[in-house]
Structure formats: structure tokens, C-alpha cells
Structure 1
Amino acid sequence: MDAAGERSLPEPGSQDSRAGDDIEIVVNVGGVRQVLYGDLLSQYPETRLAELMGCLAGGYDTIFSLCDDYDPGKREFYFDRDPDAFKCVIEVYYFGEVHMKKGICPICFKNEMDFWKVDLKFLDDCCKSHLSEKREELEEIARRVQLILDDLGVDSAEGRWRRCQKCVWKFLEKPESSCPARVVAVLSFLLILISSVVMCMGTIPELQVLDADGNRVEHPTLENVETACIGWFTLEYLLRLFSSPNKLHFALSFMNIVDVLAILPFYVSLTLTHLGARMMELTNVQQAVQALRIMRIARIFKLARHSSGLQTLTYALKRSFKELGLLLMYLAVGIFVFSALGYTMEQSHPETLFKSIPQSFWWAIITMTTVGYGDIYPKTTLGKLNAAISFLCGVIAIALPIHPIINNFVRYYNKQRVLETAAKHELELMELNSSSAGDGKVGCSRSDLDSLPPEPIGEEGPSWSSRLKISHSDTFIPLLTEEKHHRTRLQSCK
């Protein structure tokens, strides 16, 4: 103990250098100085701060393997790390858990925890969700960058057949890749609209014609247009299936299943019309064909392939299953309660329209959703009061989950724009790094160190290891012109 009566660390390499509960250490993290005691740090001996208590016995090499700098006069350890993140990480010694401060990047905070050797299990669950979300974003950015690189790159080692598949896939799946691909995408979009319009016009009686049996059928011109559209959809699907890199994943994709449902009814109905009459009655064949024609409405969902807005809406609804479930639960409870009350209150009226509680469900649905067809309505005073309360509760029940659903849509839409911008920035950085690779670098990274040749032994002159002074933290120091055997705080703290 010194003259001031405070506990302090002995000199490095001395015999009294030992770790214990009565030892205190002084750390300076990014300019923030803090005194920590051994009894506090010994709770987690595998962490970096706990290892500092016994590092003095190993000399300067052991000290510099744990910190960026050490001042023997002040007996103070220096770290070139984020002080805000350190304030959060240090909480594990006091509270047994770590909370991430708002505004800190989750990935950077994870790197800080890895540096201080604090296990991620001490991170609170609320903060782990942010970390998982950020990891998903980075994986999505990496996936988008890889897709763009795959489109731009041409592997000369691949055969002509494989290159042809890639060209067809890029031509049909990526309209932004070229002007002809954009024209084909617009043409496909217009054919979807034409096919949907033809399907609707075919049900107009004035546009229908009589067949040999006197039944009304679609006009032959409309059928020819329908056949041409189906031929295009079939050719497009087969080409995309032929060029897809993963056939199984392509076949099981939701949008590709929609494509099959839009094409298949035409061929099934055509088969039943020409061959089914031999195996079953003509009436059954006509009913089956009519049912299959109704399935043509599935082709309207093909528009989602060419509309980013519909895709965003679909993903936003997927993220809003909880809110939609709450909405359905509110409505279900209200429908059951108000339909039972309406049935009970209307029984006293001789001309009541509420015949049973299940029949009253329809009245409760159209009342709570403020549709009000008027086919069923209350006639008693209590019934009208019950109706007024029911549609007021319906407005409240519908309005409550709408705001979270809208927030999910806006959040997902903005997230997609951010990810797209981030992917472009990653490509720009990669292009910048590749263009400056031959111009020389001012600094170096960990990957650059791995690519350096081994240090020659027994040769005169300074080697690359003596010319590089690098911090033991994740922040690297620029190249130094002079060889220095000991660090200073200016070298380790920016």
C-alpha cells in the first residue's frame, strides 16, 4: 500500500505481481478512466479484465497481449476501444447481465463483447433480438451482393450449356439487366392484364355465342386470345424452369406454384373436353370444365412478380400475423356476443328477422365491419341499441391493430430500400478496393497480414514485422516509418 493508503499494482516482472481479491487495476478505455477491484473481476476469471490482474508477472509481452498500452508510472492499462460500449460491458461484473445502449451498432457491440471475452449469454434477451435482426440484414446484403456479382461475373471455366442457362435466367428473372429483358417483362405484365380482362369479358352474355347444343360459351376470338396468353405463360415457365440453378427450390416457390395454377386449368379443361366425354357424362365434364375455368383467377397473382409494391405488401402481412390474429379474435368475440344479444332481444317482436344465433352471426359480421347490407336488421328498441353498440365496438376493434400493421409495412419498405442502397455501397467499395489494389495502401487490415510472406530469419535489414506497429485491438494503426520497441499512448489511442 502506498503513502496515500490506496492499493496499487506492483511493477511488471516483480515477485509480488500476483492476482488476488485485494488488487485493483486502473483501465483507460478511449479516454475514460476507471478503477476496478480484484474481488469484482474474479467473478468471471475468463474475461480480459480478470486476466489483467495476473499479467504483470509475465512482463511487457504478456501485458501487451491483453491491452494496447501500459503506463508503468501510473500503472494504468490503455485500450483503444469504444468507451460507451465498455460502460455497457462492465455491467456484467455488477449485475450479471449486459444491456446494449440505444444507438450502438449491434454487430460492433458483439465485437466489443468478444474483445473483452464476455460471453453472449450474458446479453439480455431484448438486446439479442436486435443483434439477430442486424445479422439477418447483413446476410441479406451479402446475398444481394453475391447475386449481383454472379450476374456480372462470367466464369470462363464453365461450359457453353451452363453459360446459356445463366443468360436465359438473367434475361427472364432480372428485367433491369438489359433493355430486351425489360421489354419482355413489360410484355409479360401486359399479357397478364389482357388474360384477366378476357376472362371477365367472356362472362358477358352479349359476347357469348351458342354451341351445337344451344349452350352459351365464350366467343371464339376471346378463346384464341386466351390460348395465345396461355402459350406465352407456358413458354415462360418452361424456360425459367430450364434455366433455374435449383430446380426443386424453383418448383416449390410460392410464385411459381401460382404460375402453375394459372396454366394448369387450361390444359386440364382441354383434356376433359376432348377425352373426358368418353369416360363420364357430358354434364359432369361441363361442370368440371367450368370449375377449372374459375381457377384462372389465380393468374392475377402473377402481377406480384412484376410489382415490388405487391411483394412488399405480402411480406408485411406475413410480419403482421400477430396483429391480424388479434383483429380476428376481437371480431370473433364481438360477433358471438352481439349476435346472441341481438337474437335474445328480437324474440319479443312478431316479425323478427333473427331466426337463430348462427343466422345472427351474419348480421353481427356486417354490422361490426360497418358494411350494413340491411337484409337483416333489428326492430325493437333494445335491438337497435345493441346494434349501435356493436358497430361502435367494431370500429374500435378494427382500428386498434391497423396502426401496427401499417408500421410493419412502412418499416419493411424502408428496410428494403436501405438494404438495396447498402448492397450498392458494398459493390462500390469492392470496386474501389479492387481499383486501388495496385496503387499501394496507407494502412493494413487483418486479412492483409495473413497474406504477408513469413518473416525471413537471419537476414539483415528491417523486416515487415518491425516496420508494422499494430494494436492488439481490432483498430489497426497506420504504418510507422521509425522502429519503436515500446508503444506510447499516442500510438494506441487515436
Structure 2
Amino acid sequence: ERSLPEPGSQDSRAGDDIEIVVNVGGVRQVLYGDLLSQYPETRLAELMGCLAGGYDTIFSLCDDYDPGKREFYFDRDPDAFKCVIEVYYFGEVHMKKGICPICFKNEMDFWKVDLKFLDDCCKSHLSEKREELEEIARRVQLILDDLGVDSAEGRWRRCQKCVWKFLEKPESSCPARVVAVLSFLLILISSVVMCMGTIPELQVLDADGNRVEHPTLENVETACIGWFTLEYLLRLFSSPNKLHFALSFMNIVDVLAILPFYVSLTLTHLGARMMELTNVQQAVQALRIMRIARIFKLARHSSGLQTLTYALKRSFKELGLLLMYLAVGIFVFSALGYTMEQSHPETLFKSIPQSFWWAIITMTTVGY
């Protein structure tokens, strides 16, 4: 039977001269007390005083211990360990390429090294990977919810889940796919109708002699809005989380796509009683322009657009940095252009703000 060194021996003293030998996944490493004592709350630092506590204390910290070699064994990832011990030498931890960020976080938790010592770039990588896994977990949970059938649920709840799956999961059934394709076509039709309604040759004169959209186009517009409204209300009715549904970006787009129609309708029939007809017409025209928001509804039915939106969202900081450099360049070169050209009698650089246009088109296009 193996015996432990006496509590008063060199192995059990908690001092700066203690030498700790660890074997992590077959990789042997010698560490010294003065190095480990910088971070006494870490697992490696706790090894310095564990011998006096007996085998129970030792095996609560490591997987095995050889008293003959005075060596602690750990069945952990040696590559991650090489990164973790950098905190004792450099005061920070840098995650090497090829190591899973989530697994590396688990390694840091095992060695009791706080995440605050992780380098900023590695923290960003870890945060991105964590968000990806949370998104995957959310999607998996949705799939499990779709597959699971709770017999204890009432008829009303089961009806809600069926409607939600029918509208949100086009791949769930053939009718759901048909409805998704129909919705996609109606979005295209309403967008084309909105553009055709501005062609003078397709407009008609109203009783006051003003050009308005052709009645046929208005009827098509009304039919499309009716479909969008029904679709939104059904999805709102069947949503498991009404607040999250209402604040979702795509659902806000849906509201912006249908709201101008009803506001314009209200102003046309009731607004004339409260304000002048000219003001009502101007308000209606301004609201009708907001119909362009419905083109963004295509993203709901296009995985490619959703991927592009996700990529832009994840690159928000980088795009912001690019725009900041662009803004600095525009400001500097606009000021230089104004300074060089202001003395010319026919100059178009009459002020720095007027020079912004020249700088913008020069930096973002070929300059024409």
C-alpha cells in the first residue's frame, strides 16, 4: 500500500520552494510554488497543500497520485492545459487555434481559472460560439416541441400549435408549403402593383381631376393586404410567446407592410372631417410610400436572405469600424478639397458640407 509523506515533509509544505509535478494527458509538467501562489484559488495552487489532507483531499483535486514519483495525474486535454498555465507566466490566457471554445471554457472551469484572464479576442470568439450553440439549441428545442405530443394539453392549445406549425414550418406538410409559396407570390404581386400604380399611363382621374391608381390595381392591393392581415393575425393568435412575437424584427416588418393601408383608409374616409383635404392627401401619399417595407417580407420565405441578414448582424462591429474610417476620410478630404478650391471663382466647393458629396462619391464609386 502506498503511503503519503509526513505532513512536515517537503512535499506537504506550502511554501515558495515547493515543486509540483503534474501529468496531464501524458504530458509531464514541473511547476513551482512561487509561481502557483500568485493565484491561490486555482486547482494547481491547491495541490501545494493537499498532501496533508490525505488521499481524500488529493483525489478530490486530481485523478491519481504517485507518491514514489510525487506526481499528480489528470485525465484532461494537454493542449488546453498548455494554454491555461499561461496565466501563471503572463497573467492572461490565450486560446490556441483548433481548440473548441466551449471545451476550453470547461477546461478553465476545471482548473479554476477565472474567465476574466482570457484574452479579449478569445472572449469574443467564445461569445460568438456560445451564441451559435444557443441558437442551435433553440432550433432543436423547437423541433422537439413539434415532434412531441402532450396528451395533457387541451384542444385549444393543440389547435394553436397546429396553426403555428402550419404557418411557420413550410416543410412540415404539403399544404403548408403551398401556403408559403402563395404568400411569397402575393408579396411579389403587391410589390409589382405598387410600382405599376405610379406609372402615369396606368392612372385614372378622380372627381377632382387628380391622378390616382387604377381601380383594378387598388383591388389587387386590397386583396393582398387582406391576406397579409389574416396571416399576421393567425400567427399572432398561435404564437407561444405573444410579446416575443410582437417585438421580433420580421413581425415588425409585417406590421409596417400592412399598417399604411389601414391608416390611409382611415384618413381618406375620416380625416377630411378633421383637416384640410390637401393635408389628408399629402399624409396618404407619405404613408403609401411606406408600402415598400413589404419587400422585406421576402426574407421570411428565403433562407438565403436570412443567412445574409445573420451575417450582417454578426459583422455589425466590423461594418461600424469600416463606416467610421470612411466618415473620417470623407471629413478630411472634404476639408482639403474646400481649402484648395475655395479661391476659384466658379468653384462648386462653396463650403465643407457641400464638399461632402464629392468626397462620398469619390471614395465609394469611381467618382462620376
Q: Same fold by TM (over 0.5)?
A: yes
| 1:17–1:57 CA contact under 8 A, matched in 2 | yes
1:186 maps to 2:181: yes
Provide, for residues 372-431 of structure 1, a one-character-per-residue CA deviation record: whole Å limited to 9, x for no partner.
56xxxxxxxxxxxxxxxxxxxxxxxxxxxxxxxxxxxxxxxxxxxxxxxxxxxxxxxxxx
Q: Give 1:352 deviation, angstroms.
A: 5.2
Q: Partners of 1:334 and 1:92 in 2: how far apart?
A: 41
Q: Give 1:344 deviation, angstroms.
A: 6.0
Q: Give 1:176 deviation, angstroms.
A: 1.8
Q: Give 1:209 deviation, angstroms.
A: 1.9
Q: Give 1:342 deviation, angstroms.
A: 5.1
Q: Give 1:20 deviation, angstroms.
A: 4.0
Superposition TM-score, scaled by structure 2 size: 0.86
The secondary structure found in structure 1 opposite 2:20 is: strand
| 1:258–1:302 CA contact under 8 A, matched in 2 | yes
| 1:207–1:219 CA contact under 8 A, matched in 2 | yes
Q: Give 1:15 deviation, angstroms.
A: 11
| 1:13–1:56 CA contact under 8 A, matched in 2 | no
Q: Give 1:248 deviation, angstroms.
A: 1.9
Provide, for residues 12-33 of structure 1, a one-character-per-residue CA deviation record: whole Å limited to 9, x for no partner.
9999955444443332222222
Q: Give 1:371 deviation, angstroms.
A: 6.0
Residue 267 and residue 97 in structure 1: after superposition, are their counterparts in 2 closer, same or farther (change >3 A)? closer
| 2:197–2:214 CA contact under 8 A, matched in 1 | yes
| 1:10–1:16 CA contact under 8 A, matched in 2 | yes
Residue 58 and residue 15 in structure 1: after superposition, are their counterparts in 2 closer, same or farther (change >3 A)? farther
Greater RCO, 1 or 2 (C-alpha within 8 Å, sep 6+): 1
Q: Partners of 2:336 and 2:11 in 1: how far apart?
A: 85
Q: Partners of 2:208 and 2:297 in 1: how far apart?
A: 35
Q: Give 1:45 deviation, angstroms.
A: 3.6
Report the counterpart of residue 141 of structure 1 in structure 2: 136
Q: Which runs of 5+ in 1 are unaligned?
A: 1-5, 374-494
Q: Give 1:297 deviation, angstroms.
A: 1.3
Residue 253 and residue 11 in structure 1: after superposition, are their counterparts in 2 closer, same or farther (change >3 A)? same
Q: Give 1:359 deviation, angstroms.
A: 4.1
Range with bigger deviation, 291-300 or 335-344: 335-344
Q: Give 1:198 deviation, angstroms.
A: 0.8
The secondary structure found in structure 1 opposite 2:12 is: coil
How many residues align? The count is 368
Q: CA RMSD in A?
A: 3.5
Which of the two has greater helix per residue? 2
| 2:232–2:254 CA contact under 8 A, matched in 1 | yes
Residue 253 and residue 71 in structure 1: after superposition, are their counterparts in 2 closer, same or farther (change >3 A)? closer
Residue 97 and residue 286 in structure 1: after superposition, are their counterparts in 2 closer, same or farther (change >3 A)? closer
Q: Partners of 1:20 and 1:354 in 2: how far apart?
A: 74
Residue 371 and residue 118 in structure 1: after superposition, are their counterparts in 2 closer, same or farther (change >3 A)? closer
Q: Give 1:251 deviation, angstroms.
A: 1.7
Percentage of identical aligned residues: 100
Residue 11 and residue 314 in structure 1: after superposition, are their counterparts in 2 closer, same or farther (change >3 A)? same
| 1:9–1:75 CA contact under 8 A, matched in 2 | no
Q: Partners of 1:347 and 1:38 in 2: how far apart?
A: 71
Provide, for residues 83-111 of structure 1, a one-character-per-residue CA deviation record: whole Å limited to 9, x for no partner.
22222223333333333232222222222
Provide, for residues 299-333 of structure 1, a one-character-per-residue CA deviation record: whole Å limited to 9, x for no partner.
11111111222223333333444444444445445
| 2:11–2:51 CA contact under 8 A, matched in 1 | no
Match of 1:196 among 170, 186, 191: 191
The secondary structure found in structure 1 opposite 2:68 is: coil
Q: Partners of 1:138 and 1:42 in 2: how far apart?
A: 36
Q: Give 1:215 deviation, angstroms.
A: 2.4
Q: Partners of 2:130 and 2:348 in 1: how far apart?
A: 58
Residue 89 and residue 158 in structure 1: after superposition, are their counterparts in 2 closer, same or farther (change >3 A)? same
Superposition TM-score, scaled by structure 1 size: 0.66
Q: Give 1:363 deviation, angstroms.
A: 4.1
